[in-house]
Amino acid sequence: MLTVMGATGNTGKKVVEMLLAAGQPVRALGRSEQRLGELAARGAEVLAGDPSDAAFLTRAFHGSSAVYVMLPEDRESPDYHQDQRRKGEAIVQAIRESRVRHVVALSSLGADQPEGTGLLLTLRAQEERLKTLRDTNILLLRPASFFENFLNALPLIQHQGINADSVDPDLSVPVIASRDIAAVAASALQRRDWNSVVVRELLGQRDLSYREATRILGARLGRPGLDYVQLPPGEMHQALVQAGMSETFAGLYVQMTQAFNEGRVQPRAGRTADNTTPTRFEDFVAELPLDSAGH
């Protein structure tokens, strides 16, 4: 049995789909049986429960040859770090008690940095917690920012005709399709061919600036020349809070983008064949359903 957390989300759902396509027995976890229904219909065993409940996770992980673990985000939480810590501790306790031997854990590029990276610090803390496990082989996946993040801007693009964020417009940064992360995770869950703790960075097909990515997205939306505007940190913070995120989350998000802008989130050894993945941003936007593309 292979067990997957966050099975209705960007990476987890694709991991489940890839494992089912490979004929593997899969247990898919989420908070709602209804949202997991589609995966149940396709042959996954589904289990609904709270990702911060160690007893639930222990039951869910029990009997698994490998598990895919991640920290689902509550962007409205007034204390984001504490909320992520509760989930992270529950995951580690459940791995220990269920005695799973192979764990693929979703972390992030920048998780090597000890301070000043905002949201990424929760992932660093989780890496440290996972490293305390003995007799467990842990693959830490450190992907770049997901292509899917650009979809958060669709309402802004529709209503104001621009994309905006606090990232420097011309800074080329690695960005990746969640599908490419899922492919690496699904393969590792099946192969279970690593020992101890291994870190794997995933940088996507190429680096892209927010300005270029916005142009590519704009062309797909029938808005050629769509502009990207860099917001100062305070304005970005306010925009996130107005969109429903907590003050804490907004502050940590902006701090993370400052770390990007200052070049403090970097791969350990630059771009290599091993950390480059296939999906182009152009392919991703071409596949967007017209509805989610804002038509």
The site for ligand NAP (CB under 6 A) is made up of 6, 8-12, 30-32, 35, 51, 70-74, 106, 108, 123, 143, 145-146, 149, 178
Determine contact, residues 258/166, Cβ cutoff 8 Å: yes
Of 251, 167, 266, whose CA–CA distance to 212 is shortest? Answer: 167
Nearer CB in complex with ligand NAP: 31/131: 31
> What's the min distance (Å) between Cβ of 84 and ligand NAP?
8
Beta carbon nearer to ligand NAP, 130 or 223: 130
Q: To the nearest whole angstrom, how small is the minimum distance from the Cβ of residue 12 to ligand NAP? A: 5
CB of 225 to ligand NAP, least distance (A): 25
Minimum distance, C-beta of residue 17 to ligand NAP, in the bound complex (Å):
13
Query: Which residue number has the CB closest to ligand NAP?
Result: 9
Residue 84 is which amino acid?
A: Q
Distance CA 164, CA 179 (A): 25
User: Nearest distance from residue 148's CB to ligand NAP, in Å?
Assistant: 7
Q: How many CA atoms lie within 13 A of 267 on its CB side?
A: 22
Asked if 16 and 7 count as a contact pair (C-beta separation under 8 A), the reply is: yes
Which CB atom, from 37 or from 161, has the smaller least distance to ligand NAP? 37
CA atoms 60, 61, 62, 67: torsion sign = positive
Q: Judged by CB, which is closer to ligand NAP: 61, or 223? A: 61
Beta-strand pair 162-165/207-208: unpaired
Q: 209 — alpha (psi -120 to 50), left (phi > 0) or beta?
A: beta
What tokens appear for 65 in the block?
């040859």
From the CB of 286, what's the least distance to ligand NAP, in Å?
Answer: 20
Output the six-digit token pair for 58: 């222990």
Nearer of residues 32 and 161 to ligand NAP, judged by Cβ: 32
With respect to ligand NAP, which residue has the nearer C-beta, 32 or 272?
Answer: 32
Residue owning tokens 């020349």: 225
Q: In terms of CB distance, is 146 or 223 closer to ligand NAP?
A: 146
Distances (CA, A) of 116 to 220, 257, 259, 262, 265: 35, 10, 7, 11, 10
Residue 270 — φ and ψ, nearest 5°? 70, -170
- The least CB distance from residue 160 to ligand NAP, in Å, is 23
